[in-house]
């Protein structure tokens, strides 16, 4: 039996790469590519961040009450959902940075849709609507089907829908006010924490400047950094 260099080469390749011979006599490779668990976790973190950020941007175009509450939950649980027992220092830094970005971007929803002059005490809202005047029964909250006059019934249905939309707007305002208070407190702590290191301070300034769209909000957050900087520069009086 004559052994050629070619046959030896094929044999070695078969051993190294697990070549199988199929029915047609051709060799196929059965390679399994194993990704680094850390890179897989980073991909997962980036994917989750992108999903939530896309939701925020979508609600900047058109706000929805259920989405506003859901996004708030997503942001608050982002860090816990991304961390595992095997999460390394590099991944923790990335998770923290993404968490800060999401919080800052959510401020854009608050600043765009929250009415700063809104007061629940002055809303004068009632969940039920009185039917328009006319013949027949007129009871607040009654069914439109109980009104025989087609025009009066149609007008009553319009008033109910109008009141429904007003209810949504009020609910959104009250939710945004609560979230704004919570997020403002969190942002203050985060910005204050980030100002302790020069590099972190510059990164935080860049994040605020690039993400926050409302000038007043931007001024407030950047002002926190300036206050902390002055505290560090000014020596304590004895």
Query: pLDDT digits over 77-125, tens only?
Result: 999 999 888 888 889 989 999 999 999 999 999 999 999 888 776 667 7
167 assigned to some structural domain: yes
Give yes or no for residue 3 having a pLDDT over 50: no
> What pLDDT was estimated at residue 200?
81
Instruction: Report H helices in 35-82.
Output: 37-61, 65-76, 78-82
Predicted model pTM: 0.70
Domain count within the chain: 2
- Based on the fold, state whether residues 70 and 29 are members of the same structural domain: no
- Based on the fold, state whether residues 128 and 221 are members of the same structural domain: yes
Question: Residue 109's domain spans which residues?
Answer: 37-233
> What pLDDT was estimated at residue 136?
81
> Which residues, 6+ apart, have CB-to-CB distance to 98 below 8 Å?
45, 46, 49, 78, 82
Q: Tell me what percent of the residues of the chain surpass a pLDDT of 90.
A: 45
């Amino acid at each position: 039996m004559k052994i050629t260099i070619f046959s030896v080469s094929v044999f070695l390749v078969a051993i190294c790469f697990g070549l199988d011979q199929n029915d047609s006599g051709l060799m196929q490779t059965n390679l399994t590519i194993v990704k680094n668990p850390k890179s897989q976790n980073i991909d997962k973190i980036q994917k989750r961040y992108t999903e939530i950020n896309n939701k925020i941007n979508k609600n900047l175009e058109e706000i929805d009450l259920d989405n506003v509450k859901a996004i708030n939950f997503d942001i608050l649980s982002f860090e816990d959902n991304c961390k595992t027992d095997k999460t390394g220092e590099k991944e923790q830094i990335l998770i923290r940075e993404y968490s800060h970005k999401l919080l800052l971007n959510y401020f854009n929803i608050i600043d765009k849709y929250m009415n700063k002059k809104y007061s629940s005490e002055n809303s004068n809202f009632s969940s039920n609507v009185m039917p328009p005047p006319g013949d027949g029964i007129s009871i607040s909250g009654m069914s439109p089907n109980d009104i025989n006059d087609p025009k009066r019934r149609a007008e009553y249905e319009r008033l109910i829908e109008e009141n429904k939309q007003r209810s949504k707007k009020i609910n959104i305002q009250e939710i945004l006010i609560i979230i704004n208070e919570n997020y403002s407190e969190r942002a203050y702590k985060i910005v204050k924490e980030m100002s302790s290191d020069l590099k972190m301070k510059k990164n935080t300034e860049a994040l605020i400047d690039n993400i926050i769209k409302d000038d007043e909000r931007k001024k407030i957050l950047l002002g926190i950094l300036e206050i902390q900087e002055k505290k560090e520069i000014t020596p304590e009086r004895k």
